[in-house]
A and B are shown apart, each in its own frame.
Chain A
């Protein structure tokens, strides 16, 4: 079946502009996660949605970052007034419900964001 998809695959933007990154999780997956991977670095947790519960926003680096998940499916990560340090690959992942023993997180291909 279809995996996690993300769009766009690449985004170049000027400093100060807003950007929106989209994630389509695997159908039926109730949990959705956003991570950030800077060049040559590990993955940094940003935000986590689980079903209809309030999202865990503890990883968002500043109030310029926000995310929504509409209808329990598609998610959008928005970065306002982008800065050069926001340049990274933004990865989305999804998994089955917490109560399901198979809770592997499946990653999307990522969106490479470059802020000039």
Chain B
């Protein structure tokens, strides 16, 4: 089955700096890669996703890149703000609407 590795497990940055979280996956059949943000005590919420037919996607301060050959994808957050502090999860799925395999999560702390 699919295996998703996520690094780093914790990340501390100064407000205004950029943050990068990286994930690798094992199943070459995976073609959907969402990123979820989970604030303390709350449900995971989708912040951005990418499908295998594109290499990069951007939404304001958030961007995701995908390298299918190397089987890795990354989340980039620019101009970080304290409200970006949360746990971020990457995930992979072989088919649209199929179950997700999640990475272990990254706790991002943005210091004011």
Interface residues of A (CB under 8 A from B): 31, 33, 35, 41-45, 48, 50, 56, 58-59, 91, 95-101, 103-110
By secondary structure, the B interface counts as loop
List B contacts of A99 (CB < 8 A): 96-97
Complex: A98 Cα to B36 Cα, angstroms: 20
List A contacts of B104 (CB < 8 A): 41-42
CB contact between A104 and one of B43, B49, B95, B105 (< 8 Å): that residue: B49
Q: Is the CB of A91 within 8 A of B89?
A: no
List B contacts of A35 (CB < 8 A): 100, 102
By secondary structure, the A interface counts as loop
List A contacts of B103 (CB < 8 A): 42
B20 at the interface (CB under 8 A from A): no
Give A96's nearest chain B residue, CB to CB: B97
Q: Is the CB of B97 within 8 A of A91?
A: no
Q: How far is the CB of A41 from chain B (nearest CB, A)?
A: 7
CB contact between B44 and one of A50, A59, A91, A95 (< 8 Å): that residue: A91
Q: Is the CB of B98 within 8 A of A48?
A: yes
Complex: A73 Cα to B70 Cα, angstroms: 39
Q: Is the CB of B101 within 8 A of A98?
A: no
List A contacts of B100 (CB < 8 A): 33, 35, 43, 45, 105
Q: Is the CB of A42 within 8 A of B102?
A: yes
Complex: A35 Cα to B102 Cα, angstroms: 10
